[in-house]
Amino acid sequence: MNKKPLEIEYKFLIEYPDTAFLSKLPGYRCVNMTQMYLTLPESFGSESGRCRIRETEENGEIKYIKTFKQALSDLTRIEIESEITAEEFNKLAVYQTPDCSPIIKTRHIFPFESFICEVDVFPFWDDRAFLEIEVTSEDITPPTPPFIRIIKDVSTDKRYRNSALARNVVFEPFEPFN
């Protein structure tokens, strides 16, 4: 039986983090990303439909990644990723979904307890960001770092998916912590 790769992920809206503090955590990494959402025509065969491409830069090294996701539940998706060339990236970019803008973000990655935390900051927000934590099963609730101020769990709120933000950035007000 061919097992599909699963992504089971919690996503939290957080107050804008102290990125200088994060950068000093053991195991810290920083990745700059630009990602686009595509609508591929039927001529792509089994790869037709919705797709994401991403250009990443970490320590001066640039990579290009193509991703297909299929939702199985609010938290779980089949996620198939493959590294592609810059040429493939540029060829696919012409299929950017018309009503979607590219998403630019900086991802701050660090371990916490037995989990990997990913904090995404965006140029369109100066007061909030995302914390994402992958788990191996939907019945696992990950701990959140005490130095991250959680506004709310947005794991099931479709407005806070990156693909939705590419269409319409959410500026919903929230009560900041004192």
User: In this predicted structure, what is the pLDDT of residue 178?
Assistant: 45
Q: What is the pLDDT of residue 169?
A: 86
Question: For residue 92, with 0-12 CB atoms within 10 Å meaning exposed, 13-18 middle and 19 or more buried, which class applies?
Answer: buried
State the DSSP H helix or E strand holding residue 159, giving kind and residue range, or none if neither. none
Residue 176 pairs in a beta bridge with none
pLDDT of 166 reads 93
Query: Residue 177: what pLDDT?
Result: 53
Q: Which residue has the tokens 């592609």?
A: 84
Across-strand partners of 82? 66
**How far is 66 from 84, CA to CA, in rounded Å?**
7
H helices of 75-175, in order, are 86-93, 162-165
Instruction: Report if pTM > 0.75.
Output: yes
User: pLDDT tens-digit profile of 11-29?
Assistant: 999 999 999 999 999 999 9
Return the percentage of the chain with pLDDT > 90, whole number: 76
**What domains can you pick out in the chain, each with its CATH number?**
6-165 (2.40.320.10)
Q: How do 128-135 and 49-58 pair as beta strands?
A: unpaired
Tens of pLDDT, residue by residue over 47-84, are: 655 799 999 999 999 999 999 988 889 899 988 899 99
In the Cβ-directed half-sphere of 166, how many Cα atoms lie within 13 Å? 20
More confident call, 177 vs 92? 92
**Under a CB-based contact definition with an 8 Å cutoff, are residues 47 and 109 in contact?**
no
Residue 46: predicted pLDDT: 64
Using one digit for the tens of pLDDT, what is the confidence trace for 110-167? 999 999 999 999 999 999 999 999 999 999 999 999 999 999 999 999 999 999 999 9
Around Cβ 109, how many Cβ atoms within 10 Å?
A: 18
Strands (E), 16-164: 29-40, 49-58, 61-71, 76-84, 103-112, 115-121, 128-135, 150-153
Q: What is the pLDDT, as a whole number, of residue 1?
A: 44
